[in-house]
Amino acid sequence: MTAAQRRLVSRARRARVRSFAPFSKFRVGAAVETPRGRIYTGANIESATYGLTLCAERVAIFKAVSEGERAFKRVAVVADTRPLTPPCGACRQILWEFCGDVEIVLANPRGRAAVYRLSELLPHPFDASLL
């Protein structure tokens, strides 16, 4: 990993600590970086109904967008799983719509990491070009 990727993963790890996951105990942190180097973080926030739960990736993106950001360089996702945890389908869709074919860094707290392009995780995306 590059220094920039490590820095983003570090911020996602710290965000993971603020996760609110009393039901699943599945804590996830995410961080998104803008082309100017600004980083926004998010943690998953659960609801007892699960359907109202927000994933860490969407929290981070929505925080950034609500602050006026419209371009993103890379995203890091950290979950405490042995196999690296990619974004869920809903998060992949939001990431595509707001970030395009962005770099995705997946990591776990034990130091394992891998880097993908979003197009590898979402090979046939739906977006405004199809409307």
- Here the CATH number for the domain that contains residue 72 is 3.40.140.10
Is 125 among the domain residues? Answer: no
Identify whether the C-beta of residue 87 lies closer than 8 Å to the C-beta of residue 57: yes
HSE (side-chain half, CA atoms, 13 Å) at 117: 7
Is 130 among the domain residues? Answer: no
Is 90 among the domain residues? Answer: yes
The per-residue pLDDT for range 91-100, each reduced to its tens digit, is 999 999 999 9
Structural domains counted in the chain? 1
Q: Is-catalytic flag, 33?
A: no
Predicted TM-score (pTM) of this structure:
0.95
DSSP code, position 67: T
Is 50 among the domain residues? Answer: yes
Q: What angle do CA 115, 118, 124 make, to 5 degrees?
A: 145
The per-residue pLDDT for range 51-66, each reduced to its tens digit, is 999 999 999 999 999 9
Phi-psi region of 16 (alpha: psi -120 to 50; beta: other; left: phi over 0): alpha
Only one residue has tokens 């196999």, namely 83
Residue 114: give the domain boundaries: 3-120
**Among 57, 69, 103, 120, the one annotated catalytic:** 57
